[in-house]
Amino acid sequence: MARLGLAVCAAVCFHLCILISSSSSIPAETGSHAVRRTAYHFQPAKNWQNDPNGPMYHNGMYHLFYQYNPRSALWDTGNLSWGHSVSGDLVNWAALPTALDPTSPFDANGCWSGSATILPGGLPAILYTGIDSRKQQVQNVAFPKNPSDPLLREWEKPARHNAVIALPADVPGDRFRDPSTAWLGGDGLWRTAVSAEVDGVASTLVYRSSDFLRWERSAAPLHASRAAGMVECPDLFPVAEHGRAGLDTSANGAGVRHVLKLSVMDTLQDYYMVGWYNDTADAFSPAEPERGDDCRSWRRLDYGHVYASKSFFDARKNRRVLWAWANESDSQADDVARGWSGVQTFPRELWLDEDGKQLLQWPVEEIETLRRKRAGLRRGGTRMLDAGALQEIVGVASSQADVEGLFKIPSLQDPEPGGGREAGRRPKPAAGSPEAVRREGRHRARRRRAVRAPRVGLRRPARAHRRLLQGVQAPRQVQTPHVH
């Protein structure tokens, strides 16, 4: 955080404990692809992953789809597919075959980001961006080939209907993507939000449909700003004004506020605004209008390398859960040598703060199942640490540890000078300059960050789900929380 440099503070009052997880369930993999693999964070067995897509809870199973390159540890080698894994507890995951692959004219050059929606009757549907044979971005739909399959292993892309949303005439071919989870309005029509650049203005468009196949654009965008540049991965979801209970994505009315989250290419950060959503006009009214329409002045969702977040309503535990991509910052050569790139943050529960303006978040409670023994700096007490001090933690013998720190800081200056717009943000380079070219290239490869930890095995799923997962290849990993 800007202006909060704990490393250079004179002293802080500090208490630390280490929560140690067992690493003996399955022997760690050896070989080049196992080098520096993460331990708790979700990642496929190998290759590139980025945006989380279409997380959902359906028929007793959690599903996570994600942007995946099945051929390489790099983003731009080959075309992207949708990876797919399932879990009974958000902690232990089993890998399935890819759900969507670029096999049709409407997605011939890649199956890019999108969302999943549970339709009436329990049928899941996927909306996603396809890069078509002309390399234009269009929006497509997919449905399970066998809806009774609890793992939803195969998906169909109806050629008769796709693309369900064609490229608009006022939008460039490479500036139209990332349909959100759909929601039902009071008029019974489905709505989805899509990121676009309309006549040079970064816009979040709303489309309506009665059947999930034919979509019409609403007259006005949900949000628009000329200042921020292209935004991506919109997420509009309701939160209760009081309490931690999550809400179905279509909830609205008294006691409900909405959150609009946008991912900004210029900063590779996620920002959000709390407000109210009117489904008659498809209009969003911010709770903090003084922050302006430039979403870089909105509240930051996270202060790490976290991008393209996606939330879903977990009907099993009545909560809203957030996934996000933690990207790499080392070289492409390192990614290739390592055999993988990118992890997902540990899923977090989201709810509204009492002030009605900001979100609170915490790792989902299932993280406790990973914690075993405890080792503390000093139990039941505190210790003063000077700047740069080193303190050995005795009793950490495991190959992985989850650090929980409590800080008492005498004073804290505003971590977001200027309302947050300048925090952690470099000046925008001049158009056409070498830095501008490098920055666009970094976006294309989505500047990345790894969280390093030794790899350990996957603990066995709960008995109720083991039968479903028989014969399914499981990536041997568990996850750690992503702490900021």
Helix (H) or strand (E) holding 350: strand 348-352
The answer to whether the CB of 62 falls within 8 A of the CB of 86 is yes
Tokens representing 40?
Answer: 């708790």
**Residue 273 to residue 180: CA distance in whole angstroms:** 16
Residue 175, amino acid: R
Q: 59 phi and psi, to 5 degrees?
A: 50, 45
Global pTM value: 0.81
Best CA proximity match to 226, nearest among 278, 284, 292: 292
Catalytic sites, residue numbers: 51
Residue 271, amino acid: Y
Tokens representing 469?
Answer: 């997962």
**Residue 460 to residue 465: CA distance in whole angstroms:** 10
Place of tokens 């977090």: 348
Residue 168, amino acid: P
Best CA proximity match to 139, nearest among 219, 187, 196, 67: 196
**Residue 95 to residue 318: CA distance in whole angstroms:** 25
**Residue 186 to residue 410: CA distance in whole angstroms:** 50
Q: Is the peptide bond before 281 cis (omega within 30 degrees of 0)?
A: no
Best CA proximity match to 97, nearest among 83, 86, 108, 110: 83
Which is it for the CA torsion 168, 170, 174, 180, positive or negative? negative
pLDDT at 18: 56
pLDDT at 481: 33
Q: Which residues pair with 314 in a beta bridge?
A: 319
Q: Where are the beta strands (DSSP E) in 92-228?
A: 93-100, 111-118, 124-131, 137-144, 155-156, 176-177, 183-184, 190-198, 201-209, 216-217, 223-225
**Any idea what DSSP says for residue 378?**
S
Q: What is the pLDDT along the chain (484 residues), one digit of tens a residue?
A: 333 333 333 344 444 555 555 432 223 344 545 557 777 889 999 999 999 999 999 999 999 999 999 999 999 877 899 999 999 999 999 999 999 999 999 999 999 999 999 999 999 999 999 999 999 999 999 999 999 999 999 999 999 999 999 999 999 999 999 999 999 999 999 999 999 999 999 999 999 999 999 999 999 999 999 998 899 999 999 999 999 999 999 999 999 999 999 999 989 999 999 999 999 999 999 999 999 999 999 999 998 889 999 999 999 999 999 999 998 888 899 999 999 999 999 999 999 999 999 999 999 999 888 887 777 765 556 667 777 888 777 777 766 777 777 777 776 665 554 444 433 343 444 444 444 433 443 343 433 332 222 222 233 334 334 334 444 433 333 333 333 3
Q: CA 483: distance to chain centroid?
A: 15
CATH 2.115.10.20 intervals, the chain: 35-366+448-466
Question: Span 35-366+448-466: which CATH code?
Answer: 2.115.10.20
**Any idea what DSSP says for residue 74?**
S
